Chains A and B, each alone.
Chain A
Amino acid sequence: MSVKQEDFKLCSQSSFCRRLRSIGAKQATSPAHFRSPYAVGKAIQISDSPEASWAWPLKSALYPEISFELRIDVLEGDVVRIRADEVRSKTPFRRYNESAKWALLKEDLLMARTASIKHTPEKSIIKYGKDGKLVLEVQHKPFKIIQSREGKPMVIMNERGLFHMEHFRVKEVEAGQELLSEGEQMVIQNDNSWFEESDKDMFEETWKKWTDSKPKGPEALSIDLTFPGVQHVFGLPEHASPLSLPDTIGTDAQYSEPYRLFNVDIFEYLADSPMSLYGAIPLLHAVSKSHAVGVLNLIASDTWVDVLHTKAGVQTHWMSESGILDLFILPGPTPDALFEQYAALTGPTPLPPQWSIGYHQCRWNYNDEPDVLGVQAGFDEADMPLDVTWLDIEYAEEHRYFDWDPKHFPDPVRMLDAVAEKGRKMVAIVDPHIKKTDSFRIYSDAKELDILVKKSDGSNFEGWCWTGSSVWVDFFNPKSWDWWMKMFGFSVWKESSPALFIWNDMNEPSVFDGPEISVPRDTLFHGGWENRDLHNINGMMFHRATAEALIARESPAKRPFVLSRSFFAGSQRYGAIWTGDNMGTWDHFAGETAMILSNNIAGMSFCGADVGGFFGNPTPELLVRWYQAGAFMPFFRAHAHIDTKRREPYLYEEPIRGYLRDVLRMRYKLLPVWYNAFHEASIRGSPIIKPQYAVFPHDEAGFAIDDQYYIGSSGLLFKPITVEGATTTTVYLSAPEPYYNYHTSYLYPSSSSPRRITLSTPLETYPLLVQGGHIVPTRERVRRASSLMWQDPFTLLIALDKEGKATGELYLDDGVGYDYQSGDYVWRKFEYVSHGKSGSLKSTRHEGYATSPLSTTSPVKSEGKGDVKVYQENNKWAQAISHVRVERIIVLGLKTAPKMVRSSESTLEFTWEDGVAAGGKKEGRASRLVIKNPGVGVVNDWVIVFE
């Protein structure tokens, strides 16, 4: 079994994509003679214009009677926003212009203060950025926009002349043209045909058994973006493709179809394909060893993107079915800066509940209360940690979500309490399809409120899903929000508890009997918009409503946890996502790493894959490898289809059981590292896991590597083993520093150039290295659930760099509430320095990320919550954990054993093992100094001196 490719359209089966892709093909055939028909006129005055905002009339020579308007804003943070829309249309139609409203953190963006413009007859030149290093040149005829840094072009829009905005027309008018004399009509056709393909499907389109009524006729948008001087582009999630996107056109094309962004429920997707999946983020990074630049093309309609690498750079062609042009150019110049710039626009991943980065156990389905409690007992008996137990669709009677099946869950609150007693949580699924049955309050409420998604004729849309005949709520309708919020209140949903969280699946939305397994394109939403206009945002609106409902159900509010399958730019504000219905096979497993990295660089950091694979029965070897990989994904959840054998980790015999237990425990020991990474993501927008190019943007040889990655800024480098029977693997090391095998303290000496090392990887182990120069905080005492570990002591692992230095950090808060926003948290910086033969380790207050221009002046906010207050050392949380101590300090790579180690209080007990030093050229087990009970905590400043 595998995907039914025929259930989904090819570009050639979609009239707009066919039309727009043919423009690209025509240009490619004769680039010298191909000239954009579009031109910009004299700048127009915008009333109440902010300083850094300008507008121009835009016209196509093909349709001189039609008017467009171009608008350019330079935003704070040196992001350029380019918008274009048709104006003064004689039709009643308008292009969808609300993608930004839903995707952006806030609608009224601050303008840059330093931008200035100069007009000449040929071009308008905007200077912006610090010292005017950035320039945006608008060439008037033919229309072209060049963004450059220090004179070097970074992004060129419409260089190939593929920009095209199909104007609104009424079919009757079009037909009226036939009244023109034959000669005139010929002229028109001849004029256009070099550019526009005529298309009989412009006003109505039939695919398989479905007919799209297309009331607005053609309204597609084509843009081309060229990135000179780069050989790697990243982004456009979600696809099962390599991280560095291969060509879709030209002689070296890996794929014949463009990358598609159109959220669908795809059954057993292919392991390597540009086909669309569950989520869509129209963000692209273009990176060379000297710069990085990004584009965010905020469009929510069906979008296809062709990619072509040339000697000069990378060409991209974006083809969308509808919507205005709303393009953001993120100036970089580094990947880190791109992450911050993107987070400033769409928001960072807010700090999730701390327990949600522990281990999640899911299955379709845990059948009843004894089953759920049996899973708890299974983990406890095997001494394996577990934080969250999940319930798939069968908990709900007739799949009427919210309504527990009383035959199997007679007393849900009793069960939830029993699970919560051990510090654990549960997640139950609430899908967007609503069973069409009057006795179901959710249905009758929604029908009464008239907030259901409508067919093109205005009646309520009905389709088929798990629930049988179903309807869908229109979450674009503000009336739905308050109502949905109430549904989760403990007084309304009485069979719920503060330990219960939510899973929003099937929110593309999935409609089993709909075109491409979703709602038809002419389905209507609030404001009269069609599904065609906002399709890719639909899942996010549902995710958003649920997350806000969970925030609202308690006072003071607790952090929500909602897992969604579908996502768009901005979804990171509402919770986690996962990579959907993968298969328990080696090739699917191998593909997950690149997918999760791609999501991470596009802001959707809190993500993971079904451990073990949703479909099929993995072999014990594959399962162990998958747990090893899963333990290093930001979201760590095992899940399995109803037809599979049970595969909870405690069910296995030794040695498999031991391997699984080890890796589960490893996740828990490293939770401080993960929480640090989430914290950094929440204020800087940085990925939780970082691919090679993001950490080493000057080492181009490593750009294409997408099978290993770093965890946040911890210096931990991980590579999953995704090859059956592999007993060795190689890992690529970029930093001119020593690296240490985390499991064995084996040291690979520093080198001035990147290199590959070979590691032994029998089933019980996997590559986990620490880059020299980092201090890794861990908690070695693994409890039944992560929430029980808050008072446990820390171990600091100091991996010295070649100069004998290392730094690290530790962020702690209550893990569940929002008190951290009022300053109740602990954020420490650890620093080890060498002075000749002696050294010192210092713990000080973390002052914030100095490199980040955003972190101090305009910290990016999480949805609906205010700025994070500055951290005071005696805050409530610091007091609550003032007794939490550091129990052990390990220093790897010292040259010689110190004579004495002392804190301000006393001399400290330590052990020493000889070994290789960090500054040397020798490979081998690193020297190891272990300080026992140094008598220091994690709240106050302290110094430990090594003499």
Chain B
Amino acid sequence: MTPVQGLNPSLASKYDHSASVNFTCLDGSHIIPFSAVNDDYCDCPDESDEPGTSACPTGVFYCENEGHIPGRVLSSRVNDGICDPECCDGSDEWATGACPNKCAEIGQEYRRQVEAEMKTRKTGARIRSTYIKWAQGERKRLQLDLETKRKELEVKEVEVEKSRIALETMEAKSKQEIEKRKKSPLFLSLLTHRLALSRLRSRVSRAEKELEALHGILEDLSKGYNPNYQDMAVKAAVVGYEELTKPPEPTGSTDDSSDYTEELEEEIGDRELDELERKDLEGILLTDISESDWETEEEAGLLWKIDEYIPESIYESWEVVRDASIDWLVRLGIIGKGSKGKTDGVDAPHVTAAREKHRNLNNELTKLQNDIKSSSETLEKMGLGFGPEAEWKKLDGTCVDTVAGDYTYELCFFGRASQKSNKDSSSNHLGTFGEWNTSAEPATYDYYTRQVYKNGAKCWNGPMRSVTVDMTCGTTNALLQISEPEKCEYRFKVTTPALCWPLDSGEQTVKEEL
């Protein structure tokens, strides 16, 4: 039986001429004479009668490729005069004769490449296994650490509770008095004022933020705008901004100096406002109660009063001197500790001490809790987020970079991607690690072949920068190629041993057919 041109040998039995004079289309829809098989005319709706010609629109031509591995080409590529690498024996160009059989050569090269790839994967897998081992150690360490910390936590919780009770008891007494005074009209009015003050301040700060944002936008625009856009409005905006922000002329006119003064006044105003807001009103009530007990106001009060006489130009240096003086006075026991930062001076010393103790203990507790949280999170990630065997944990924080064009691109695994200018020190944040390949099933090989870094610096007139990182197995961690297919949306190609799964893992199988 002569083989049917372009036919996958596994189907040969269906094309056995000796069995019948007719050929049945593989879908059974039509029966045609065998002479119509490969007669360069598409008879069967399923295209099964023309495996060897270009007559049917979506068929495939099977190339035996002796000396290499078998391949397939689309029927639209049969006899088009182009030598397709999938058909190194040139059998698809049977009519044009355009392609000599190069399978020996190509097969050899292919085997060499496969071998090289195997080698890469073997080496890569060895490196990967060290990552896994490291991760196992790291996991053990974390688990151990976690256990210790959890125990500490229990102890600490008890301590904190004790200190809290002590503090509360002490505070309760003062509190009763405060509650009473809180109802006074004066205090209520004070509260209203404070509320007004904070609302005013938040308004100011919002306005400032807006201004800052506008500055930022204009600054981005002036640096990042494309002078090639024929938009004269943009150009005008840039020129206007540059003029607005250029440093004042050194020949300070009267206008300039008054501006300067204004600025200073504002600064002082700010500080005063801070203090006003920070002022512990309840503390003041308490101060009132205990005024007779501590005579601090008189002594330190003088230093505070000097404030009012200090010229603005030397205020800042005065401030330092004043605070230092009060410090000394306190240390020397001349005045009470409460003088400094008037808000602290409200409690009786024993209450202060109790509060301090409680606060410290509480801080220690929070730190412990945080440590535990972070460790357990890491451990949790080592289940899936850091790869099936936590092999990626080793790369957490590892950075790779490459130079492309005028920039150096850097990727820190699980951290940030950035673009640094090779000409100056400017740098753009391209994104922070966001997710693995969400279009693949989690935990599959494909899932780990892509990382997305999101929410980078915003492009002028464009999106927030982002990076899609496509990764393959390699013996080193390396950033091979960057591209920007759409404005501000980057693609990195990266190799890493973390993706060199063992050869028998079922992923990345070696092709037996092209």
Contact = CB atoms under 8 A, between A and B. Distances in A.
Contacts of A370: 481, 483
B405 A408 contact: yes
A154 B74 CA distance: 60
Interface in B39-90: 39-41, 43, 54-55, 57-58, 74, 76-77, 79-82
Contacts of A780: 57
B239 to A, nearest CB: 13
Nearest to A645: B486
A153 interface: no
A660 to B, nearest CB: 16
Nearest to B96: A791
A163 B74 CA distance: 67
A407 B80 contact: no
At the interface, is chain A mostly helix, strand, loop or mixed? loop
B20 to A, nearest CB: 20
B54 A792 contact: yes
A199 interface: no
A781 B227 contact: no
B23 to A, nearest CB: 15
Contact of B80 (A399, A466, A513, A783): A783
B326 to A, nearest CB: 60
Given A517-B230, A643-B487, A646-B485, A782 B57 contact: yes
B248 to A, nearest CB: 29
Interface residues of B, number: 32
Contacts of A371: 483, 485
Interface string B323-349: 000000000000000000000000000
Contacts of A783: 76-77, 80
A484 interface: no
Highest count of chain A CB atoms <10 Å: which of B54, B58, B481 = B54
A840 interface: no
Contact of B77 (A267, A421, A784, A789): A784
A788 B82 CA distance: 8
Contacts of B39: 933
B41 A887 contact: yes
Interface in B188-209: none
Contact of A784 (B55, B82, B461, B484): B82
B485 A512 contact: no
B462 interface: yes
B166 interface: no
Interface string A466-510: 101000000000000000000000000000000000000000001
Given A468-B227, A510-B230, A367 B55 contact: no
A368 interface: yes
B230 A423 contact: no
A644 B461 CA distance: 12
A932 interface: yes
B484 A367 contact: yes
B230 A933 contact: no
A503 B486 CA distance: 22
Please report whether the interface of chain B is mostly helix, strand, loop or mixed according to DSSP: loop
B82 A265 contact: no
B230 A512 contact: yes
Contacts, number: 75
Interface in A162-187: none
A789 to B, nearest CB: 8
A647 to B, nearest CB: 10
A407 B405 contact: yes
A888 interface: yes
A383 interface: yes
Interface in B447-498: 461-462, 481, 483-487
Interface string A649-689: 00000000000000001000000000000000000000000
A876 interface: no
A413 interface: no
Contacts of A423: 80-82
Nearest to A933: B41
A422 B82 contact: yes
Interface string A343-384: 000000000000000000000000110110000000000010
Nearest to A366: B485
B486 A646 contact: yes
A642 interface: yes
A422 B82 CA distance: 7
Contacts of A421: 82
B273 interface: no
Interface string A776-790: 000011111000110
Contacts of A643: 461-462, 487
Contacts of B57: 665, 780-782
B228 interface: yes
Interface in A782-810: 782-784, 788-789, 791-793
B230 A383 contact: no
A201 B370 CA distance: 79
Contacts of A781: 54-55, 57, 76
Given A407-B405, A781-B57, A932-B41, A383 B76 contact: yes
Interface in A505-532: 510, 512-513, 517
Interface string B7-33: 000000000000000000000000000
Contact of A383 (B41, B74, B82, B485): B74
B404 interface: yes
A27 to B, nearest CB: 39
Given A466-B228, A781-B55, A887-B40, A642 B483 contact: no
Interface of B: 39-41, 43, 54-55, 57-58, 74, 76-77, 79-82, 96, 227-228, 230-232, 404-406, 461-462, 481, 483-487
19 contacts: A367-B483, A367-B485, A370-B481, A371-B483, A423-B81, A466-B228, A468-B227, A512-B230, A644-B486, A781-B54, A781-B57, A781-B76, A782-B57, A789-B80, A791-B79, A792-B54, A887-B41, A933-B40, A933-B41
Given A887-B41, A888-B41, 20 more contacts: A383-B74, A407-B405, A407-B406, A421-B82, A422-B82, A423-B80, A423-B81, A465-B228, A510-B230, A512-B230, A780-B57, A781-B54, A781-B57, A782-B57, A782-B76, A783-B77, A784-B76, A789-B80, A932-B41, A933-B40
Chain A to chain B: the 6 pairs with minimum beta-carbon distance, closest first: A512-B230, A788-B80, A407-B405, A466-B228, A783-B80, A933-B41
